[in-house]
Structure 1
Amino acid sequence: MRRWKCKVCGYIHEADEAPEKCPVCNADKIHFVEVDDKGDEIALISEIVVEVPVQEVKPKTFRDRLAALVLKLHLHPIAVHFPNGVLPVAVIFVALAILLGLATFKEAAFYNMVFVLLTMPLVMVTGYVEWQKRYKGAKTALFMTKIFCSLAVLICLLILVVWRLVDPTVADAGSVNRMIYLGISLAMLAAAGIAGHLGGKLVFGSRG
């Protein structure tokens, strides 16, 4: 049985031929290479060795070193855990404030959302670096959906926080806009959940 490795996400496929699409990241067949039992790429027998003049290696810029540090320390998964842990709590607090008229939970939800909003730039910047460097900026459905969901979370957060600043009573039990506010909160949570699911699929998909 031959082994094929996706060069985008690292998924290992065991079959006589590489799959048409990667089941994890949806990359095309051309992104697969044959590997041995150790995961090392197998060179093609018909491959022609061409001598290429040695080019001067450019020194790494500060941006390159920073990107390497992001990958080495896995800063994107670390950064994502903060908003993903707080966001569901904030939405639950919004629901309790609106449905049960608990003013304390309304305030707690607002401050939690402010915290998540402040962490989003770090999440998105490290995610962009991870996508560009580790996954070669592959524009597959999985990555495009993750990007769309991240932007949706950010937009929803901005709407919720700004709306709450303009109208402090929007999440009150008697507010005429309370269900719209709750609906945006639930949409934000759903987008975050989808992004998290796809991220988990990307990281753990090859483990079954």
Structure 2
Amino acid sequence: MKKWECTVCGYIHEGETPPDECPVCGVGPEFFKEVVEKEEKTLTQAVLEPDSVAAEKQSKPSFFRKMVMKHHLHPIAVHTPNGVLPLALIFLAIATMFGLASFEQAAFYSLVFVLINMPFVIVTGIIVWQDRYKGAKTKVFGLKIGGAIIVVATLLALLIWRLVEPGVAASPGRWTYLLICLVCVAGAGISGHFGGKLVFGSRKH
């Protein structure tokens, strides 16, 4: 039986033809190439390279791009929103329900920290998307980008509201404020889920 490899995410499909859609990253069959065993390769296949591959080798990525890819800076960076945002939500929920100002303040500084980190998360994510996944425009990547937009938009809304109304956690609008924070966490969860699918979904178990 033939094997087909997705050139975007590395998923391996077994069958006579490539799948209509990659189950991991969502690209079409044109992004699949047949996996040829080493002993079956001809001399021509082993030596000659497509023009696109040769051009790719000639292009020299910037120092920053190389560091992002070599040291996996995007997966490292996304741990900040994925880890801190749920904690901020818990702090804010405690402050909202029990009127504890110290927990509200902890939530506020947590949100500030995540917002400061988001540009690095987004930039490194774009680099990984372009370099590793060839900038594929599929549903998976659209959802990841959408999740990041939700996080940034809700963070800005939360922090601006808090600056305009410092006592928001004790105000009549506190439940709406808490709901926006929940949406922010959900946005991070969406991006994290599909990021994990891209990383681990193509691995053979």
Q: TM-score range by the shorter chain?
A: 0.7 to 0.9
From 109, 119, 135, the equivalent of 2:107 is: 109
CA distance in 2, matches of 1:103, 1:51: 63
| Distance verdict in 2 for CA 1:58–1:7, change over 3 Å | closer
Unaligned runs of 5+ in 1: none
Amino acid at match of 2:22: C
- Assess if the C-alpha contact under 8 Å between 2:18 and 2:29 holds in 1: yes
Secondary structure at the aligned position of 1:176 is classed as: coil
Matching of residue 119 in structure 1 with residue 112 in structure 2? no
The residue that corresponds to 1:26 in the other structure is 26
The residue that corresponds to 1:185 in the other structure is 181
| Distance verdict in 2 for CA 1:133–1:182, change over 3 Å | same
From 151, 154, 163, the equivalent of 1:153 is: 151
CA distance in 1, matches of 2:96, 2:153: 21
Unaligned runs of 5+ in 2: none
CA distance in 1, matches of 2:143, 2:174: 29
- Assess if the C-alpha contact under 8 Å between 1:34 and 1:42 holds in 2: no
CA deviation string 1:81-123 (max 9, x = no partner): 1221111000111111111212111010000000001100000
| Distance verdict in 2 for CA 1:80–1:168, change over 3 Å | same
CA distance in 1, matches of 2:34, 2:121: 34
Matching of residue 203 in structure 1 with residue 195 in structure 2? no
CA distance in 2, matches of 1:154, 1:198: 18
CA distance in 1, matches of 2:76, 2:7: 24
Amino acid at match of 1:147: I
Secondary structure at the aligned position of 1:8 is classed as: coil
CA distance in 2, matches of 1:126, 1:180: 32
Q: Where in structure 1 do 4 or more consecutive aligned residues deviate above 2 Å? A: 40-43, 49-52, 57-60
Q: CA deviation at 1:206?
A: 1.7
| Distance verdict in 2 for CA 1:14–1:51, change over 3 Å | closer
Amino acid at match of 1:35: V
- Assess if the C-alpha contact under 8 Å between 1:11 and 1:205 holds in 2: yes
Matching of residue 96 in structure 1 with residue 99 in structure 2? no
The residue that corresponds to 1:77 in the other structure is 75
Comparing both structures, which one devotes a greater share of its residues to helix?
2
The residue that corresponds to 1:132 in the other structure is 130
Q: CA deviation at 1:51?
A: 11
From 64, 67, 74, the equivalent of 1:66 is: 64
CA distance in 2, matches of 1:50, 1:82: 41
Pairs aligned (count): 198
How much is the aligned-residue C-alpha RMSD, in angstroms? 2.7
- Assess if the C-alpha contact under 8 Å between 2:81 and 2:188 holds in 1: no
Matching of residue 17 in structure 1 with residue 25 in structure 2? no
TM-score (norm 2): 0.88
Amino acid at match of 1:190: A
Amino acid at match of 2:32: F
Amino acid at match of 2:144: K
